[in-house]
C-alpha cells in the first residue's frame, strides 16, 4: 500500500510503515520447499515462520494467509517448470529435448541433499484440488500448459520431418505429459531413480516412434 501527497503539484508515493528488510523471492522459495516437503494441509503458519525466519505478522503482511502463500508458491513453481521445459525442448531434436525434460525432472524430484520429493503440483496440489477451486484451477492450468509445450514441439517435429506427416501431436503430447506425471507420483511414492530413468527412456521411444 502507498500513501499519496501533493508536493509542488506532483503526486508522490510514499511507503506506509517500515520497508521490508527481507528477500521476498528467497522467502517464497523457502516457503515453497516447506509446502513441498510437508504438503499443504500439514503445513502451519508456524512451520512457515520457522522455515522463512519471519514472524507470522510479517508473513501475513507480505504474502497474505497460508492459502494465499501456497498459491504464490504454486505460481512460482509453475513458472519455473514451464521455463525449464521450454528451454529443454529448444535447440534439440525432439527425442533429445524430451530426454532433457525428464532428466531435469529427475534432478528436481531427487535432490542430492534430501529424500525423494516428487513434484510440488502432483504431490500437494492434486490432493487439495477436489475441495479448493483456486488450487484446482491453478493445477489444471499448469498441467495443460506443460502439455501445450510438448504439443508445440511435436508439431514442429512433424513440420520439419522428424516425425511422419499425420502424426497425432496432441495425443503424443498427452502421452509425454503422462510419463512426466507418473514419474512425479512414483518418485513421491519412493521408487528408485534408476527405475524412473528407464521409464522416461521408454516413454520417449513411444512418443517419438515413427
* Tens-place pLDDT, residues 137-182: 999 999 999 999 999 999 999 999 999 999 999 999 999 999 999 9
The grid coordinates listed for 52 are 522463512
Contact 32, 117 (CB under 8 A): no
Distance (Å, whole) CA 199 – CA 104: 14
Contact 59, 70 (CB under 8 A): no
* 15 domain residue, yes or no: no
* Digit-coded pLDDT (tens) for 19-30: 455 688 899 999
* Digit-coded pLDDT (tens) for 177-196: 999 999 999 999 999 999 99
* Digit-coded pLDDT (tens) for 106-143: 999 999 877 889 999 999 999 999 999 999 999 999 99
- Between the alpha carbon of residue 118 and those of residues 66, 123, 191, the distances in Å are 22, 7, 10
pLDDT score at 17:
39
Residue 104 lies in domain: 73-207
Domain count, the chain: 1
pTM value?
A: 0.85
* 94 domain residue, yes or no: yes
Distance (Å, whole) CA 185 – CA 109: 10
* 133 domain residue, yes or no: yes
Phi–psi pair at 78, nearest 5 degrees: -65, -45
pLDDT score at 22:
62
CATH of the domain at 167: 1.10.357.10
Cα angle value 170/176/178 (rounded, 5°): 105
Phi–psi pair at 13, nearest 5 degrees: -95, 125
Phi–psi pair at 15, nearest 5 degrees: -65, 140
Distance (Å, whole) CA 109 – CA 113: 11
Amino acid at each position: 500500500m502507498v500513501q499519496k501527497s501533493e508536493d509542488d503539484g506532483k503526486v508522490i508515493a510514499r511507503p506506509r510503515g517500515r520497508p521490508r528488510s527481507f528477500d521476498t523471492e528467497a522467502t517464497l522459495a523457502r516457503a515453497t520447499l516447506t509446502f513441498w516437503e510437508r504438503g499443504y494441509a500439514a503445513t502451519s503458519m508456524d512451520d512457515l515462520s520457522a522455515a522463512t525466519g519471519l514472524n507470522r505478522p510479517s508473513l501475513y503482511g507480505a504474502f497474505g494467509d497460508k492459502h494465499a502463500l501456497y498459491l504464490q508458491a504454486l505460481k512460482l513453481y509453475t513458472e519455473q517448470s514451464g521455463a525449464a521445459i521450454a528451454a529443454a525442448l529448444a535447440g534439440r531434436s525432439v527425442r533429445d529435448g524430451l530426454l532433457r525434460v525428464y532428466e531435469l525432472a529427475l534432478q528436481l524430484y531427487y535432490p542430492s541433499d534430501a529424500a525423494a520429493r516428487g513434484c510440488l503440483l502432483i504431490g500437494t496440489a492434486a490432493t487439495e484440488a477436489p475441495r479448493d477451486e483456486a488450487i484446482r484451477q491453478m493445477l489444471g492450468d499448469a498441467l495443460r500448459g506443460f502439455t501445450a509445450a510438448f504439443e508445440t514441439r511435436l508439431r514442429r517435429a512433424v513440420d520439419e520431418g522428424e516425425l511422419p506427416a499425420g502424426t497425432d501431436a496432441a495425443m503424443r503430447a498427452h502421452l509425454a505429459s503422462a510419463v512426466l506425471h507418473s514419474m512425479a507420483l512414483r518418485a513421491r511414492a519412493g521408487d528408485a531413480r534408476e527405475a524412473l530413468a528407464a521409464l522416461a527412456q521408454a516413454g520417449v521411444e513411444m512418443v517419438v516412434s515413427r
